[in-house]
Structure 1
Amino acid sequence: MNDKRSDEWNEAIRRTAYFLWEQDGRPAGKEAHYWQLAREKHLRQRAYDLWLAEGAPEGKAETYWDRARNDLP
C-alpha cells in the first residue's frame, strides 16, 4: 500500500475512533480500544465493498477478508 493511501486509512480510522470514543462519554485510557474498534469497522466495510463490487459471489468470504486486511494499515 502506498503512503498516501495508508495516511487516508489512518485518518479515517482516527476519525471513527474519535467519534466512538465521544459517543461512549470520552473514557480515559481507552485509545487503543477505540482505535481497534474503528479499524474493525473499516475492515468489515472494506470487505463488504469488495464483495459487492464483484457481484456478491457466494462462498468466497475469506478472499474478501484477506483483500481488506491487505488494504488497511
Structure 2
Amino acid sequence: MRITNHEEIRQMFLRYDKDRSGYLSRESITDLLRQINLPLENDIIDAMIAECATNRQGKIDLYEFLRFFEK
C-alpha cells in the first residue's frame, strides 16, 4: 500500500486509533506499519516514536504521524 496524501494518512491513523484517544500506541504503530508493508525492527520503531512523539508517553498523535510520513 502506498500512502500519497494527507487524507489517506489521516484515514489510516483514525483506523488504527481504535480507542479514539487521538494517539497511536506502539502496538498500533507496529500493526499499521505491517499493514502498509513496512515491517520494521523493534529498535527502528522505538527510534521513530522517540523522534516523533513530543508528549514523552511513547504515543504519536495525528500531527506527529503526518510529520513522519512527510519525511
TM range (shorter): 0.3 to 0.5
Q: State which structure, 1 or 2, has the greater radius of gyration over its C-alpha atoms.
A: 1
Point out the structure with the larger strand share. 2
Point out the structure with the larger helix share. 1
In the superposition, the TM-score normalised over structure 1's length comes to 0.32
In the superposition, the TM-score normalised over structure 2's length comes to 0.32
Higher relative contact order (CA 8 A, sep 6+): 1
